[in-house]
Amino acid sequence: MRQYTPDARTYELMTVLSPDVPEDDITGVLDAISGYVTDAGGTVQGVQRDSPWGRRRLAYPIRHAGRDVRDGYYTLYHLELAPSRVADVERDLKLNTQVIRYLVTHYTPKPIDPREQIDAEIDAEEAAAAAYAAAQAAAQATTASPAEGASPVAAAAAAVPAVETEEAPVAQAAETGDPAAGADSQDAGAGTTTPEAPAPGVTGDAPVAGTDGTPGADNDTDTGER
**pLDDT tens for residues 64-79?**
988 999 999 999 999 9
**β-sheet bridge partners, residue 56:** 72
Domain membership of residue 24 (yes or no) is yes
Those residues with Cβ within 8 angstroms of residue 204's Cβ, 6 or more apart along the chain or in another chain: 198
Give pLDDT, residue 211: 46
Give pLDDT, residue 3: 64
User: CA-to-CA distance for 210 and 202, rounded, in angstroms?
Assistant: 14
Domain membership of residue 224 (yes or no) is no
Q: Are 78 and 12 in contact (CB under 8 A)?
A: yes
User: CA-to-CA distance for 80 and 99, rounded, in angstroms?
Assistant: 21
Question: Where residue 96 sits, what CATH number does that domain have?
Answer: 3.30.70.60
Domain membership of residue 101 (yes or no) is yes
Give pLDDT, residue 27: 93
**Amino acid, res. 23:** E
User: CA-to-CA distance for 36 and 52, rounded, in angstroms?
Assistant: 24
Give pLDDT, residue 219: 46
Domain membership of residue 204 (yes or no) is no
- Determine if the pTM surpasses 0.75: no
Give pLDDT, residue 208: 47
Domain membership of residue 129 (yes or no) is no
Q: Domain span at residue 36?
A: 9-106
Phi, psi of 158 (to 5 degrees): -70, -30
Domain membership of residue 22 (yes or no) is yes
Total domains in the chain come to: 1
Domain membership of residue 3 (yes or no) is no
**Amino acid, res. 205:** D
- Dihedral sign for Cα 32, 33, 38, 44, please: negative
Point out the residues of the chain with pLDDT beneath 70: 1-5, 112, 144-226
